[in-house]
Amino acid sequence: MGKKSIITIDGPAGAGKSTVSKALAKRLGYIYLDTGALYRALAYNALNLKTDLDDASALNDLCSTTSVILKNINGEMKVYVGGKDVGEKIRTEEVGLTASKISTFAIVRQSLLNLQREAGRNGGIVAEGRDMGSVVFPYADYKFYLDANVEERIIRRRKELLGKGLSAEYQIIQKDMMERDKQDSERAIAPLKPSADSIIIDSTGLSVFQVVEEIICRISKNTGRE
């Protein structure tokens, strides 16, 4: 891999995208971009402001009045809302579900598009989300779609939440995940689905290390578009 590529990793909640993308970016000396954090940041503000989540015009106001920026902190693009690092506050299930809900609106997706593209302008980026390969970076050099079976995704998400000291009841996570899967993959705009030119990796039963190795192996075999 000579030039600084754009690598996209899409997939459903709990498939291991964040951990894998972060590890991959570190290994390659690339920037890591978590686009879910952008939707979560808007959702967090919407919850604070008690914005009507079904009202496109209220969401339009939310997008135009919320200042969301990305700052590169040691190779990781961190999300700042109104000048503040939103950090772990956006990691709850409630914020995740709200992000999924507002992300079905065109105005919300449009308001975050340039920010994401700008972050990848010079390449050298691992971008993870739902529509990285299909909409945000359709010209990406390497596109991956990371999946795992639903039980494993629930267990992983539970571990992650517990690790952060957050509440993590199996049945609640299961219900939220089903709702999020449905919402993310059935929405009209930029639905979650592997683009025709993406490489699908099933991470069920694989460690983070094994998935990163598999991705590096696919890249070095030059199975992307480079």
Binding residues for ligand DC (CB under 6 A): 13, 35-36, 39-40, 96, 99-100, 103, 129-131, 180, 184
The contacts found for 43-47 with CB under 8 angstroms, 24 or more apart, are 43/90, 43/95, 43/96, 43/98, 43/99, 43/101, 43/102, 44/81, 44/86, 44/89, 44/90, 44/95, 44/98, 45/81, 46/98, 46/102, 47/94, 47/95, 47/98
Residue 128 near residue 21 (C-beta atoms within 8 A): yes
The least CB distance from residue 205 to ligand DC, in Å, is 22
The least CB distance from residue 145 to ligand DC, in Å, is 13
| Residues 174, 171: Cα–Cα separation, whole Å | 5
Q: Which is nearer to ligand DC, 5 or 100 (CB)?
A: 100
Q: Which is nearer to ligand DC, 36 or 224 (CB)?
A: 36
Q: Which is nearer to ligand DC, 1 or 175 (CB)?
A: 175
Q: Which is nearer to ligand DC, 28 or 130 (CB)?
A: 130
The least CB distance from residue 99 to ligand DC, in Å, is 4
Q: Which is nearer to ligand DC, 158 or 180 (CB)?
A: 180
CA distances from 9 to 132, 137, 202 (A): 7, 11, 12
Closest to 10 in 3D by CA, of 43, 42, 45, 36? 36
The least CB distance from residue 174 to ligand DC, in Å, is 15
The least CB distance from residue 220 to ligand DC, in Å, is 26
The least CB distance from residue 116 to ligand DC, in Å, is 8
Q: Which is nearer to ligand DC, 1 or 155 (CB)?
A: 155
Closest to 17 in 3D by CA, of 103, 128, 132, 120? 128
